[in-house]
Amino acid sequence: MSYTVNVLDETTARPQPIPALTLDFETETVSVRELIRRRVYDEVSTYNAGNQECFRGLVVPEGMERELNSPGLARSRRIDWEQQSARAVEAFTRGGIIILIGDRQAEALDEPVTLRLGHPLDVTFIKLVPLVGG
C-alpha cells in the first residue's frame, strides 16, 4: 500500500507545469521537508546510477554549472544527495522555491501533507530564481 505524489516543475520563465517525477510514500502523512528530501534523493539517485547524461534536478550542484553549460562534457562526479537536499531546503526557506500542494501554497518545512490512497496528489515546485549552487 503506497500513496502517490506527482511532482511537477514550473519556473517564472515557463509558467506551465511539466511532470518531473512520481514519488510513492508508505505513510499517509509526510512533511514538506520530506517531500523535498525524497524528490532530491530520487533525482540524485537517478543521475548517480548513470541514467541521465546531465543532471536535471531541483537545484544545480555547486561546481556543476560548467558541465551543464557545455554539451558533450563528460560527467564529472557523483552527487551527494544530502548536500543537495540541504541546498533545496535552504532555497525553500529563503523563498527561492515555492511549493504548491494541490492548489495551496506550503508555508513551512514541518507542515504536514496528507496523502490519500488511490488519489495521487500533485505537488508543484516553482523556481523563482536560478538555483545554481543552491
Report if residue 106 sits inside a domain: yes
Residue 130 predicted with pLDDT over 60: no
The strands making up 104-105's β-sheet, listed across from edge to edge, are: 18-25, 3-11, 121-127, 97-101, 104-105
DSSP-assigned states of every residue in 9-50: EEESS--S-EEEEEEEESSSEEEHHHHHHHHHHHHHHHHHTT
Report if residue 91 sits inside a domain: yes
Residue 63, Ramachandran bin (φ over 0: left; ψ between -120 and 50: alpha; else beta): left
Q: Convert the pLDDT of each residue in 48-89 to its tens digit.
A: 998 887 888 898 887 765 455 445 445 567 899 999 999 999
Report if residue 92 sits inside a domain: yes
In this structure, which amino acid lies at residue 3? Y
Report if residue 20 sits inside a domain: yes
Report if residue 9 sits inside a domain: yes
Higher local confidence (pLDDT), 17 or 99? 99
Share above pLDDT 70 across residues of the chain, in percent, rounded to a whole number? 85
Contact 113, 39 (CB under 8 A): no
Report if residue 133 sits inside a domain: no
Residue 27 predicted with pLDDT over 70: yes
Share above pLDDT 90 across residues of the chain, in percent, rounded to a whole number? 65
Q: Which are the contacts of 103, defined by CB distance < 8 A and separation ≥ 6?
A: none
Report if residue 134 sits inside a domain: no
Report if residue 31 sits inside a domain: yes
In the predicted model, what is the mean pLDDT of residues 109-130?
Answer: 92
Contact 54, 67 (CB under 8 A): yes
How many structural domains comprise the chain?
Answer: 1
Residue 108 predicted with pLDDT over 50: yes
The average confidence (pLDDT) of the chain is 87
Kindly indicate the confidence band of residue 128, based on its pLDDT and cuts at 50, 70 and 90: confident
Range(s) of the domain holding residue 95: 3-127
For the domain that residue 43 is a member of, what is the CATH number? Answer: 3.10.20
